[in-house]
Amino acid sequence: MADVVHRINGHVATREWMHQFATDPSGFMTKVVESQDTDNQELVEPARVVEDEDAVQEDETRPDYPFHAFDKLDEVLHLQDRHPSAVYDIVEIGAGQGKLTKALKRVLPGGTRFAAVEPNNDRRTEFRHFMSDVPVFDGTASATTLPNESVGNIAIGHAFHCMAKANALDEFHRILVPNGRLGIMLNTGDFNSCPFMQDVERVVKSFNAAYVPSQPNHDQLQQIFHDRPHLFSPMQSQRIDTVFSASVDGIVDYLMSTCVMANLSHRRQTDVRLSIARLIEMNPDVTEDEHGEHKLELPCLVELHWVQKAQALQDTPAQHHPDDVVMQSC
C-alpha cells in the first residue's frame, strides 16, 4: 500500500517521523520541542477556547446520518395527524449548517415543513446557502422567537447541551403543540468498538488529553428532564450501529474536530494529528478507491432519544440555577 504522507502546518510528515510518533509520541515530541528555536511562551501555549470557526469545521467533518438510522423515525417524532396550530412540522434547534435538517429532508415527504433556529449569523448564512427553502431564525434554545404551540417536533443534534440551560425546557414546551415531540439525534464514532479506535485512545492519552468525546450517556440525558418532570414524558431511546466511510484525511479531520481535541494547544493538535495519521497508515483495513484515494470505514453509533410534551403545563415554578450547567457536545 502506498505511503500516506500528510503535510501538517506546512511541514511534510515523513514515514520515519510518524513512526516515531506512533511508537513513542510523548518522548519524541520532547526531543522535537527541545530542538525548536522557540520561546517558552510558545512551548506552553494554553488550550484555546473553541470558537465559531471550530464549530463550523466540526459540522463539516462529522459523519452524516445514514438512511437506515431513520427507519423508525415515526417512533421518535410525531409525524402523523398534523396539529392545526402547527406552523412547522420540524424545527432544528442549534442547527449550525443544518446537517441534521438535511438528513431529515432526505427521508421525509416533500411536504414536510422545516425550520431552524441558530444564534450564529455566519452559520445561518451557510444554512441558507445549502437549504434556501428552509427558514432559519436568529434565536437560542431559551429564546427561539417562535410563536406558542407552533412546532410539531423539535429536533436537536449535537447542540443538545443547550438543553442544560435553565429556561430551555420551558421554551421547548411553550413552542411545541400538544403531544409534540422533542428528539435528540446524535451520530458519533463508536470509540470502543475496534482495535483501531483503542489505539487512537492510547495515542491521545499519551499526550495527557482525554480521548472519548464528552457525549452524555442515557442517565445524564435523563437528568436534564429530572427537575421538570411535568413538562415531558419519560425519555425513550434507540441505538443504531452504522459506519462512516471516508478518506483518510476525512477520518483524521473528524477525530481532530471533537471538542476535546479542539481545546488542545495548536502544537499538541499537530502532534495528535501526526500520530493518528500514522495509525491509519498502518491499518490493514485501509482501502484504495478507483481514484487512488485511501479510504477507511469508521464504526459509528447513532443514538435517538425522545420525549413527548405533557398535556398541560402545571403551575410548578421553574427551578432556576445561578450558574447554568452546560454539557459539552461534540
Over 94-147, what HEC string results? CCCCCHHHHHHHHHCCCCCCEEEECCCHHHHHHHHHHCCCCCEECCECCECCCC
Residue 86 pLDDT greater than 90, yes or no? yes
Element (H, E) at 41: helix 40-43
Q: Check pLDDT > 80 for residue 40.
A: no
- Distance from C-alpha of 247 to C-alpha of 242, rounded to nearest angstrom: 17
Q: Look at residue 227 and tell me if it is in a domain.
A: yes
Q: Could you tell me the CATH number of the domain that includes residue 185?
A: 3.40.50.150
Give domain status of residue 210, yes or no: yes
Whether 17 is covered by a domain: the verdict is: yes
| 321 within some domain | no
Q: Give the pLDDT confidence of 230-281 residue by residue, as tens digits.
A: 999 999 999 998 888 888 888 888 777 765 666 678 888 888 888 888 888 8
What the block records as the C-alpha cell of 36 is: 525548536
Picking from 54-63, 85-94, 102-111, 154-163, which range would have the lowest pLDDT averaged per residue?
A: 54-63
Range of the domain at 277: 6-308
Residue 6 confidence (pLDDT):
44
User: Is residue 325 situated within a structural domain?
Assistant: no
Cβ-in-10-Å burial (0-12, 13-18, 19+) of 135 comes to middle
Give percent of the chain above pLDDT 70: 68
CB 53 within 8 A of CB 227: no
Domain count, the chain: 1
pLDDT over threshold 90, residue 143: yes
Flag whether 316 is in a domain: no
Convert the pLDDT of each residue in 287-322 to its tens digit: 888 888 888 888 888 899 999 999 755 444 444 443
pLDDT in the model for residue 215:
58
Confidence of residue 98 (pLDDT cuts 50, 70, 90): very high
For residues 85 and 177, is the Cβ–Cβ distance under 8 A? yes
Residue 272 maps to a domain: yes
Average pLDDT over residues 128-132: 95
Does residue 328 lie in a domain region?
Answer: no
Task: Choose the weakest-confidence range: 67-76, 135-144, 153-162, 246-255.
Answer: 246-255
291 Cβ neighbours under 8 A, 6+ residues apart:
none
